[in-house]
Amino acid sequence: MSDDDLNRLAKALQATPPADPGKKAAHLRAALDNFDSHQERPADTRQTNTVLKGVSAMFDKLTTRTGLALTTGLVTAGAALLIVLPTGNLTQPPQITTQPEARVDDAAERDEMLIEPVVEPEIALDAAPTLAAPAPEAFVGGAAQSLAKSRAATREAPPRILPADPVLRPDTMDTEAFPQAEPNPLKITADEPVSTFSIDVDTASYGIVRQSLMTGALPPKDAVRIEEMVNYFPYDYPAPDADGAPFRPTVSTFETPWNADTQLVHIALQGRLPATTDRPPLNLVFLIDTSGSMNAPNKLPLLKQSLRLMLSELRPEDQVAMVTYAGSAGQVLAPTSASERDTILAALDRLDAGGSTAGQAGLQQAYATAAAMAEEDEVSRVLLATDGDFNVGLSDPDALTDFIADKRDSGTYLSVLGFGRGNLDDATMQALAQNGNGMAAYIDTLAEARKVLVDQLSGALFPIADDVKIQVEFNPATVSEYRLLGYETRALRREDFNNDRVDAGEIGTGHSVTAIYEVTPTGSPAELTDALRYGTASDTPAAFENELGFLRLRYKQPGAAESQLIETPIPAHPTDASDDARFAAAIAGFGRLLRGEKLAGGWTYADAIALAGETRGTDPFGYRAEALTLMRLAESLTVQRP
Amino acid sequence: MNTADESLALAAARGDRQAFASLLDRHYDRLFAFAMRLTGHRAEAEDLTQDICLALPHKLGGYRAEARFTTWLYRVAVNAAHDRRRRAATHARAAAGWADWELNRQAANAEDAAALDWLAQVMRALPDDLRDTVALTLGEGLSQKDAAQVLDLSEGTVAWRMSEVKKRLRALHQQESQA
């Protein structure tokens, strides 16, 4: 009888009225507002910044980017580089740190919630009506749409170097900043036969793409950099001879997966494999951001774990120092031999996040420390670990990049490790790494930390070739149109190729670099432009009709001032493509889809999945399997939002 | 795609605004229904839900994925309800809540109305701790084990509470039949 009572009570209790839609919307809005103000940078600060400081911020940005352009040749005539940057972190007022309070509460929360891990399947919680989870954007609604629109508008604007009016992106949902660069346009060989760019071994973009997809959202289009996605994966390209050039180029040509009438020219550079036994001693200065914004499980704690992992790979003759920056910069570990693990680990454990970021002072101290450690035949590198939040003590953003470029010439390298999302200033990270002859990687999981800091330790830390530039001259007799996939932020002017003063990317031991062109053979039905009525002065000697083009590479031995040249023709006949090359093509196609480009032949995620699955190979670390998972996630997210 | 609540919650804790928005949207209705079961009064339930929504951005900072997200959320909700009860000014109102439990009363027929009166009578008769337990087990359909996790009690205590509820129901039943 009492069980009847219980059933009756259960039935009555379950008949709750639905929530009032108006109240619901109001509550959700209020919660999101609170969410914003709970983040490190309160929403109203952003607003103030946009309104009051927008113009000055823009000019600061402009000078920064111009400075960059001068050193890296970022702006070329044809590349549509828009310098309408989102309001960045560079000119922010000191952030309000709510973290200490949060920490106290966290501890309390944990104590309250001593709950064992649950392994049982989900019980019937669905008695109360739940909405099928909509795509996140659908809910964020207005803000997301207006952001998307403003991005779209930016994209449709004609290419220009300077913004016509001082309108910054009106509202940033979060404060992440990505460099905005258009996908490389189609080039007509007759007009512009030469394509020049710097290599790029960064992989940060892939990490951001993965993090977005794993949490159920398509990544921001500007965060997708095809070359960084392609270069994320290890490839088994032919290695150079022991006593030749430090790297070896391999060129293959094969049919484009998404267009039977065009071909992909796949250029692979394989760096010399590490001679692990006789590497020079390393001087590593960890420059660690301990600002309040680093106080998240996937930032400082992950960084500590990552550095612990890396420590086990170092040798007694290597030296480690640690400098933190937060409010004021300080050395927390004097140069210490890597064999003194306990000392180093204890210093790591003492790190605690709090305060705001004094990036510049920190960098200066880190470089000073590195300079003091340097001896003949040693490699010095500053490893900057940050969530990209350089917002205090940076009165002159120009000075920062200039400073780093200066130090690059003095032989100290800089690598940037990005942590966390939300206010990751991807653009600044890129700028720092590009100017510091380093690499930028984004670390979101311990597995990624292992990949970047342990498996690729040698490559990340020992440069074997500096200022590596690629120049391809296409043969108008065999190629009518071409397009470089990716490397938008790495374009160089044609004349910069032979100018040894122009900076470019570096290759480390064991690194491989991939660049892919999509080319349209002359006379192919895929040609998008018509032939000129009066033709061109066709003076291509017949002897070259078996060549698609000519590949030139320039590089410097580390520390050398003069560059060396490698030249090789690109054969016109399709070659056998390795699985590695075709996998790289699948990733490039995946990147283009994520950027929202429509591919010829209706090539979709499903095709990318098929191709990547087919060419996966042995995949000992599971990187390619993970890429397949990401492709499937992207596919399901896209189906939801046609 | 159905991203697990737990990873959304962790992303939100790290500052991912979209993750927070979709997480809250996904759980709002459940949260409101639970608040309704705890309070028995629409206005009170709406206020409670709002309290929870406003506190979540901060609370999420302490979410460590040690428990299922729904378990954690129920716990936050129960704590928020305690907080409201503790505030003396609202206490009278909360206690009065079940007096005018008003589930779609206009549309309800006499039989439903009777059922609701009975529900209000029962819930009013229960002390806060039993009412919370009933809302979780009978209202939300949690097992005693899960309810124990939410309330940070042993499973035995929840079982005891439920038997206590049964006793009181029986007593009520007897009163009814005597009346």
Amino acid type, A570: I
> Taking Cα atoms as reference points, which of A547, A467, A505, A64 lies closest to residue A265?
A547
For residue A149, what pLDDT band results from cuts at 50, 70 and 90? Answer: very low
Which residues in chain A are classed under CATH 3.40.50.410? Answer: 281-457
Establish if A216 touches chain B: CB-CB under 8 angstroms.
yes
Taking an 8 Å cut-off on Cβ atoms, the answer to whether B15 and A420 are in contact is yes
> Are A388 and A291 spatial neighbours (Cβ–Cβ below 8 Å)?
no
Among 3.60.15.10, 3.40.50.300, 3.40.50.410, 3.40.50.360, name the CATH number for the domain at A281-457: 3.40.50.410
Nearest to A115 among B34, B56, B67 (CB): B67
pLDDT band at A212 (very low <50, low <70, confident <90, very high): confident
The residue ranking higher by pLDDT, A615 or A453, is: A615
Contacts of B79 in chain A (CB under 8 A): 112
Residue A551 pLDDT grade (very low, low, confident, very high; cuts 50, 70, 90): very high
Task: Provide the number of CB pairs (under 8 Å) joining chain A to chain B.
Answer: 243
CATH 1.20.140.160 fits B5-178, yes or no: yes
Average of per-residue pLDDT across A96-124: 38
What pLDDT score does A197 carry?
93
The residue with tokens 């078996």 is A546
Q: Give SS3 for B24.
A: helix
CB–CB of A174/A590 below 8 Å? Answer: no
Within the 142-161 window of chain A, which residues sit less than 8 Å (CB to CB) from chain B?
144
- Tell me which residue has tokens 């590497």: A279
Q: Does residue A425 belong to the interface with chain B, where contact is any CB pair within 8 Å?
A: no
* A248-264 average pLDDT score: 91
Which chain B residues are Cβ-neighbours of A14 within 8 angstroms?
138-139, 141
- pLDDT at res. A140: 36
Q: Which pLDDT does position A52 carry in this prediction?
A: 33
Residue among A19, A136, A297 minimizing CB distance to B29:
A19
Q: What's chain A's Rg over C-alpha atoms? A: 26
Instruction: Note whether A85 and A427 are within 8 A (CB).
Output: yes
A chain contacts of residue B61, beta-carbon cutoff 8 Å: 38, 102, 105-106
B57 closest CB neighbour out of A35, A118, A120 = A35
What is the per-residue pLDDT for A572? 83
Q: How many CA atoms lie within 13 A of B11 on its CB side?
A: 25
Q: What is the pLDDT of residue A15?
A: 77
From the candidates A105, A140, A215, which should be mutated to test the interface with B, based on the most B CB atoms within 10 A? A215
- Domain A189-274+464-525+545-640 homologous superfamily, CATH: Gamma-adaptin ear (GAE) domain (2.60.40.1230)
CA dihedral (B93, B94, B99, B102) in degrees, to 10, reads: 100
Pick from B29, B51, B59 the residue to mutate for testing the A interface (most A CBs within 10 Å): B29
B105–chain A nearest CA distance, Å: 10
pLDDT, greater one: B103 or B19: B19
Distance between CA A227 and CA A486 in Å, rounded? Answer: 5
Mean pLDDT of B121-126: 80
* Higher per-residue confidence, A166 vs A483: A483
**Comparing C-alpha atoms, which of A228, A215, A234, A230 is closest to residue A179?**
A228
Comparing A70-74, A312-316, A351-355, B130-134, the range with the smallest average pLDDT is: A70-74
Share of chain A above pLDDT 70, in %: 67
Q: Do the chains contact at A114 and B152, CB–CB below 8 Å?
A: yes
Tell me, rounded to whole angstroms, the distance of Cα B13 from its chain centroid.
Answer: 23
State the Cα–Cα distance between residues A559 and A539, nearest whole angstrom.
41
Residue A641 reports pLDDT greater than 60:
no
- What per-residue confidence (pLDDT) applies to A542? 66
**Which DSSP state fits A272?**
P
C-alpha dist (Å) from residue A175 to A29, A58, A87, A303: 19, 15, 8, 21
- Which tops the pLDDT comparison, A164 or B169? B169
Query: Is residue A110 very low, low, confident or very high in pLDDT (cuts 50, 70, 90)?
Result: very low
**pLDDT band at residue A275 under the 50/70/90 scheme:** low
Query: What confidence score (pLDDT) does residue A42 get?
Result: 40
pLDDT at A160: 34
pLDDT band at A590 (very low <50, low <70, confident <90, very high): very high
Contact A202, A224 (CB under 8 A): no
For residue B32, name the pLDDT band (cuts at 50, 70, 90): very high
Q: What is the mean pLDDT of residues B152-161?
A: 88
Contacts 24+ apart (CB under 8 A), A16-22: A16/A128, A16/B32, A16/B33, A16/B36, A16/B37, A16/B103, A16/B139, A17/B36, A17/B42, A17/B103, A17/B104, A18/A129, A18/B29, A19/B28, A19/B29, A19/B32, A19/B33, A19/B46, A19/B49, A20/B42, A20/B46
pLDDT in tens, A14-69: 877 788 888 888 888 888 888 887 775 443 333 333 333 333 333 333 333 333 33
From A470, A478, A552, A469, select the one nearest A189 (Cα to Cα): A478
Q: Under an 8 A CB cutoff, do A8 and B118 touch? A: yes
In chain A, the percentage of residues whose pLDDT exceeds 90 is 14
What is the average pLDDT score of chain A? 72
What is the Rg, in whole angstroms, of the alpha carbon atoms belonging to chain B? 18
Contact between chains at B67 and A6 (C-beta distance less than 8 A): no
CB A567 within 8 A of CB A552: yes
Task: For residue A347, name the pLDDT band (cuts at 50, 70, 90).
Answer: confident
Strands (E), A353-429: 379-386, 412-419
Could you tell me the CA-to-CA distances from A589 to A90, A215, A224, A570, A603 in Å, in that order?
A: 34, 22, 12, 22, 8
Residue A414's pLDDT is what?
Answer: 80
Structure-block tokens of residue A18:
């639905």
Q: Which positions in chain B touch A299 (Cβ < 8 Å)?
A: 14
Q: Is the pLDDT of residue A6 over 90?
A: no
A25 touches chain B (CB under 8 A): no
From the CA of A31, how many Å to the nearest CA of chain B? 5
Contact B104 A17 (CB under 8 A): yes
A411-450 residues labelled b (16+ CB within 10 A) or e (exposed) = bbbbbbbbbbbbbbbbbbbbbbbbbbbbbbbbbbeeebbb
Residue B150 pLDDT > 80: yes
Most confident of A392-396, A626-630, B115-119: A626-630
Residues of chain B with C-beta less than 8 angstroms from the C-beta of A2:
166-167, 169-170, 173
- pLDDT at B139 exceeding the cut of 80: yes
Q: Using a CB–CB cutoff of 8 Å, tell me whether A395 touches chain B.
A: no
| Band of residue A196 on the pLDDT scale cut at 50, 70, 90 | very high
Tell me how close the Cα of B119 comes to any Cα of chain A, in angstroms: 6
- SS3 label, residue A462: coil
pLDDT, tens digit, 9 for 90 and up, residues A479-508? 999 999 999 888 888 888 988 888 888 887
What does the pLDDT read at residue A628?
Answer: 92
